[in-house]
Structure 1
Amino acid sequence: MVCLLLGLVAYVGATKSVVLTVDGESQEVQTFDGTVADVLAKADVSVRTADRVTPEPTAALEDGATIEVQRARAVDVMVDGNGTTVHTTGETVADLVSELRVSSRSAVSAPLDTSLAGLDGSISISTPKTVFVTVDGQTHERSTTAATVRDLLKESGVSLAAADRVSAPRSAALVNGMGLKVTRIAAGVEQTVTEPVPFTSSEVPNADLLEGEKKVTTAGVNGERSRVFSVTLVDGKEVSRSLLKDSVTKEPVAEAVAKGTKKRPEAKPATPAAGGGGEAPASGTWAALAQCESGGNWHINSGNGYYGGLQFSQSSWLGAGGGAYAPVASDATPEQQIAVAERLRANGGWGHWPSCSSKLGLR
């Protein structure tokens, strides 16, 4: 009887009472086991490496101890476009972010205080990245937590036309140091170009004008042509164009020129002057005008740009048909010079010799 009593006392003394809590559910366990691992095995509680057991499974067991098992949850996580499954004993999204050791400035798809137990679906995390965006001729450095190229462009306020191009797919994930270029494409831009249409010129024989003489009877006027092009611009610079429409909006007016066909009278030979072998001087009004203009020297060439007794400029001499007689007036006879002077006077009066004609009372 004594031995039985002693055995009972020893049994009672060896028994330990512990509280086992698994994922928040507790039970009291009576055990003779010496370690936490022994109790878990006896209670048929399996643990994985990611599970949290307090105290450590190898810890010695004491009477009245509390054993807590927190099983790790499997959470699908997408970090910067890379997917993985994380086993965590954290309670909230904030715990998970801390466990992953990503930047606290990262963009997370769920509020940080969201319970992992009630999480519906995966968690997306985008860490801060420095990217370089070139658009409209300027490059901007941006620090962003945008996940994709599309998100970055939206965040940056960059709107894209249908034809615009981006150097990376818009669905591509951003990476640190990434460079992006937006190329603006403007196709089908209409441009109108106005060009002159040169007038033509034709000569018409005229029996009232002397041979070598010409007179414009109808002034020529340029017309106008309108060309419409379809232009393609890349970042504001033209790369191609095609003609859409070509039309003459104003017809040119052809120039008509009367060309003289009337035979010139033959010049009379000059009568030698008395006492010399030169030409006889002209008389009358023209002789008086020549005396005023050149001192009566019909062959003077002083180098001042005016020639002969009536001091013709080269352009006036040739314009009035003097080239038919001589290259310059000073090489022509007085009669030939007077014949050319008569033509000038017929067109412009005595104003061709303004000073001397006034002195002589001719105007």
Structure 2
Amino acid sequence: MTGAAPVVLHLEHTGSPGGAEFALVRMLRADPAWDPRMLVPPGAAGFFRARASDVEVAEVGSPQPAGVSGGGARAAAGAAGRLLVQAAAVRRHPWFRAAGLVDANTARAAAFGALAVRGTRMPFVVHLRDLVDATALGGFGFRTMTRLVLPRADGVIANSPTTLDSALPFVRDGVRTAVIPSASGLTVGRARSARVPGPVRIGMLARIDPWKGQLLLLEAFASALGDSDAVLEFAGAPLFGHEDFLAQLRSRAVELGVANRVRFLGQVDDVDAVLDGWDIAVQYSTRPEPLGQNVLQYLAAGCAVVVADEGGPAEWVDDDVNGRRVSPRDAVGLASALGALAEDGQLRRRLGAAAAQTPELLDDAAVAAQHADFYTGLLATGRR
């Protein structure tokens, strides 16, 4: 960017370590060509301050707890009230007046961001990391996104073409749009650490959540490799109140007779080290993923990758070229793919080598550079 670096006010709704939050932290640690400042609800600043210490972070407004979509009318009314409080707090903050534009990092942040910029000339960027449909956003979230947020957006950044396509029916003509993958901590072209000898290791990197597909993977693993010495690892924590689902997974592993070969690693900080230990890495969410940051991480790490054949992951994996695509929600098909890869080391090595060479994998600095270009273009044209 030319001249003084513009102030970009980033809005977040939570300090829980989810994919959107990690993506924002990674991008802001990559020496962005703008002056980033962040407003978050009370209690959410710790995550960002600990991981992006150079970024100014302030807490304002009201906490934004999870669980709105399934809570009924009373929960929706409470959520609406908290959004109004948060919007007013954002608009009153001096950083709002100093900003060149406002960028909402999540759907919830976009809701109070759209309220905050309402009636102003402040350029407003919506960062889409979820598909714009009621399944992904919930009924309240979908109505808010399609009736309030996207009609006010001056710029839309989506993490995949699939995500952008889901939003376009609700975006005004002439709004600036771009597809930029989330910053996923990739070291493109890095050498994979030497594999420690031992049984085949299969893994999934995702928060423990029913829709992320851990149960389907567990069932497929037991079916295909129950009599082998193969190991299955789940890397991720049970965020957003899913401790009961983690207990269900542990219990099901016992019932299937594979508990001694199933490991729950919890939240991992050194993702590269974990992926270097896996022979096969799986994404198998039970509904379409908008992007699947884990898929980008698998590819860059040179794993033999297996993904559900829908949504963003299917845009990155070319079947039998740099990975395997399996029909969604098909435990039998997933078991077949796992069995074939577990038995064929040469196939795993071929797919893994091609995975690491996947075109258009971006490191965090490249992601930040694309955001800088987007912001520059938007600031040059202003609001539409």
The answer to whether the superposition gives a TM-score over 0.5 is no
Higher-Rg member (1/2): 1
- The structure whose residues are more often strand, as a share, is 1
TM-score (norm 1): 0.16
* Greater RCO (Cα-Cα under 8 Å, separation 6 or more): 2
Larger helix proportion, structure 1 or 2?
A: 2
